[in-house]
């Protein structure tokens, strides 16, 4: 099959965004096997400079002009036009809250199929195969689609970031203006980002129900600072309002692949491990010696986190201070 590939990043993501680089890696592999081109949708007030995408591995930039904060129907309309203009057989989106909302609506507009939370996408003869975890990450299913286009959300941390392609200058295609017609913004709230994005962090300190309350995350934040990492959470603390939902890791949250994942007060249920099971090293701190998390952890500490974490912070500070004095 001849397959053009379209990447639809989140608003504000560009060629330097890690998740976009991973999608480009997958898109280039698909395009090479299907003799197609790679395009990317860019939404904004001003046309992007092709030089900013030069060397990224993208063949076409589909620019959708928008003067305001992009609302869902604007994104759907712009992505639909870009996919039709590109005659895309496969559309790739990040597996995020926004991506999961946009993908089925886009597939409906295009009379195509949708697959969410994919860990791989491939072209086989005249069909598209999407591999994704199921049963809380304990197994994987392969869905085969003969219908095109296929809209797929792809989990972060699965593919290597795309290497530079020297001398490549993408074509800029103007799709026109896209503005909200049936919705208006009545309020805007911005959540301040603290530290590295979870998807990009090399170290994550995550808390669960076992923390007992929001104050536990203040302690985890101190540990994360000493480790140079970010703070995450399982679903229950987010639902209880102990921490922002943007911290949620798991089947219904974010998928992360850090070098080090410190799980504090997390039981290790399958729906949480689906979001962090590919971490290079998992360290578990839990008062329950029978907690399932210890089956996945390389290192485990059985004890009250209120005693273990402060001791760990003190030791890390001592090591960091000693390292600073030597340098």
- Measured in degrees and rounded to the nearest 5, phi and psi for residue 128 equal -115, 130
Q: Cis before residue 149, ω within 30 degrees of 0? A: yes
Per the CB < 8 A criterion, the answer to whether 62 and 82 are in contact is yes
SS (H, E, C) 228-277: CCEEEECHHHHHCCCCCHHHEECCCCECCCCCEEEEECCCCCHHHHHHHC
Tokens 């911005």 — which residue? 190
Q: Which pLDDT score is estimated for 304?
A: 95
Calculate helix-pair angle for 305-326, 215-227, nearest 10 degrees: 30
Specify whether the backbone of 181 is left (phi greater than 0), alpha (psi in -120 to 50) or beta.
alpha
Specify the 3-state DSSP secondary structure of 205.
strand
The sign of the torsion formed by the CA atoms of 188, 256, 237, 195 equals: negative
Is residue 145 within 8 Å of residue 128, measured between CB atoms? yes
Q: Most distant CA pair in the chain: distance in Å?
A: 63
**Number of residues assigned to the chain:** 327
Place of tokens 């990043």: 9
Neighbouring residues of 302: CB distance < 8 A, sequence distance ≥ 6: 286, 287, 288, 289
Rounded Cα distance, 101 and 103, in Å:
6
Tokens 């952890």, located at residue: 297
Domains of the chain, CATH where assigned: 4-177 (3.40.50.620), 203-326 (3.40.50.1220)
Assigned token pair, 84: 């039709």
- pLDDT for 153 equals 95
- pLDDT tens by residue, the chain, 327 residues: 456 899 999 887 888 888 899 999 999 999 988 788 999 999 888 888 777 787 788 889 999 988 766 778 888 999 999 999 988 889 999 988 889 899 999 999 999 999 998 999 998 878 899 998 887 677 889 999 987 799 999 988 788 877 766 667 888 999 988 876 666 667 766 665 555 678 888 999 999 999 999 999 999 999 999 999 999 999 999 999 999 998 999 888 888 889 999 999 999 998 899 889 889 999 999 999 999 999 999 999 999 999 999 999 999 999 888 887 776
Element (H, E) at 296: helix 293-296
What confidence tens digit (pLDDT) does each residue in 15-24 have?
888 889 999 9
- The dihedral formed by the CA atoms of 282, 284, 290 and 292, expressed in degrees to the nearest 10: -40
User: How do residues 167-203 score in pLDDT, each as one tens digit?
Assistant: 678 889 999 888 766 666 677 666 655 556 788 889 9
Sorted by sequence, the CB contacts under 8 Å of residue 231 that are 6+ apart come out as: 194, 195, 204, 205, 206, 207, 217, 220, 221, 224, 243, 247
CB-based contact 191:197 (threshold 8 Å): no
């Amino acid at each position: 099959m001849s397959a053009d590939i379209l990447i639809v990043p989140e608003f504000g993501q560009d060629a330097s965004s890690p998740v976009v680089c991973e999608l480009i890696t997958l898109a280039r592999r698909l395009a090479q096997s299907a003799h197609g081109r790679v395009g990317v949708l860019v939404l904004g007030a001003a046309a992007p400079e092709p030089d900013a995408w030069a060397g990224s591995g993208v063949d076409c930039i589909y620019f959708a002009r928008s003067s305001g904060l992009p609302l869902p129907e604007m994104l759907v309309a712009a992505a639909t036009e870009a996919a039709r203009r590109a005659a895309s057989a496969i559309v790739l989106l990040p597996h995020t809250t926004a991506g999961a909302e946009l993908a089925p609506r886009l597939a409906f507009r295009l009379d195509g199929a949708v697959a969410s939370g994919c860990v791989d996408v491939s072209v086989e003869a005249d069909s598209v195969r999407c591999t994704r975890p199921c049963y809380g990450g304990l197994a994987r299913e392969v869905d085969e689609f003969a219908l095109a286009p296929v809209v797929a959300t792809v989990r972060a941390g699965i593919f290597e970031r795309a290497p530079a392609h020297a001398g490549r200058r993408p074509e800029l295609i103007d799709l026109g203006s896209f503005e909200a017609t049936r919705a208006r913004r009545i309020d805007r709230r911005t959540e301040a980002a603290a530290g590295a994005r979870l998807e990009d962090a090399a170290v994550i300190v995550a808390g669960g129900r076992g923390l007992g309350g929001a104050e536990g995350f203040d302690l985890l934040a101190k540990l994360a600072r000493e480790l140079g990492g970010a703070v995450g959470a399982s679903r229950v603390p987010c639902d209880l309002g102990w921490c922002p939902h943007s911290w949620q890791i798991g089947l219904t949250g974010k998928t992360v692949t850090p070098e080090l994942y410190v799980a504090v007060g997390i039981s290790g249920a399958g729906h949480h491990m689906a979001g962090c099971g590919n971490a290079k090293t998992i360290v578990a701190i839990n008062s329950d010696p029978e907690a399932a998390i210890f089956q996945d952890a390389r290192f485990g500490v059985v004890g009250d986190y209120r005693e273990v974490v402060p001791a760990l912070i003190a030791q890390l500070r001592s090591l960091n201070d000693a390292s600073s004095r030597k340098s």
